[in-house]
Amino acid sequence: MSRVPVKICGVRDEATAIAAAAAGADFVGVVLAPGSPRFVAPAEATQLAVAIGDAGAIPVAVVRLAVDSATMRAIEAFPIIQFHGEESIADLAPFRAWECWKGLTFSKASVAAWTAANPTAVARLVVDGAEAGSGAAWDPTDFAALDDATRARCLLAGGLDPTNVAERIRLARPGGVDVSSGVERARGVKDIGLIRAFIDAVRAATTA
């Protein structure tokens, strides 16, 4: 199995971001959606984006529309924006200067609708369960039945942790994995040991 990219999402401080990159994370997500327990204020998010890039990972800004002016200034420091609300494909048009990802609840219809969009408009989907963003586990059997090209555009999210990610990768064969609550010791508080264990499990699954 080829190497599966890993995104550690909901990072709130530089030390954790740097540790995640050092552990082998390909992407580190910073949440700029107010109301989230992992929210990072725009000025701090800009600093985090720089730290993540300097550490060797790619920073991803996670937002919901509408984006205010302070958040717009902050996301200029990020090469990728992940939209995690009720956006339509048309809503993403003003953000063509960025690589755009879309977080969504899995259904064959929703994935088909978004993968029909040109990859230059929507590069990747972050596919979650019915309670997207909750960290709740879900059955990815139907996801695994999608064609190779579709799965390659998707990061699997929802209910992943160091104990189950290897099995989910083998079952679902996604184009990447995304974790947040599964590497936390408390809500919104990342655990560096769990981050390392998660990434180690992913790499073990894809080199076995």
47, 55, 44, 49: which is closest to 18 by C-alpha? 55
Question: Do the beta carbons of residue 11 and residue 22 sit within 8 Å?
Answer: no
139 Cβ contact partners less than 8 Å away, ≥ 6 residues apart:
none
pLDDT tens for 56-99 read: 999 999 999 989 999 999 999 999 999 998 898 889 999 999 99
Q: What does the alpha-carbon distance between residue 17 and residue 95 come to, in Å, rounded to a whole number?
A: 25
pLDDT at 58: 98
Question: Do the beta carbons of residue 59 and residue 80 sit within 8 Å?
Answer: yes
Question: What percentage of the chain reaches a pLDDT higher than 90?
Answer: 81
40 Cβ contact partners less than 8 Å away, ≥ 6 residues apart:
12, 30, 31, 32, 48
pLDDT tens for 28-57 read: 999 999 989 999 999 999 999 999 999 999
pLDDT tens for 8-26 read: 999 999 999 999 999 999 9
24: left (phi over 0), alpha (psi -120 to 50) or beta: left
Helix (H, G, I), strand (E, B) or coil at 198: helix
pLDDT at 119: 73
**Least trusted range by pLDDT, from 123-127, 153-157, 186-190, 202-206:** 202-206
Q: What does the alpha-carbon distance between residue 172 and residue 143 come to, in Å, rounded to a whole number?
A: 6
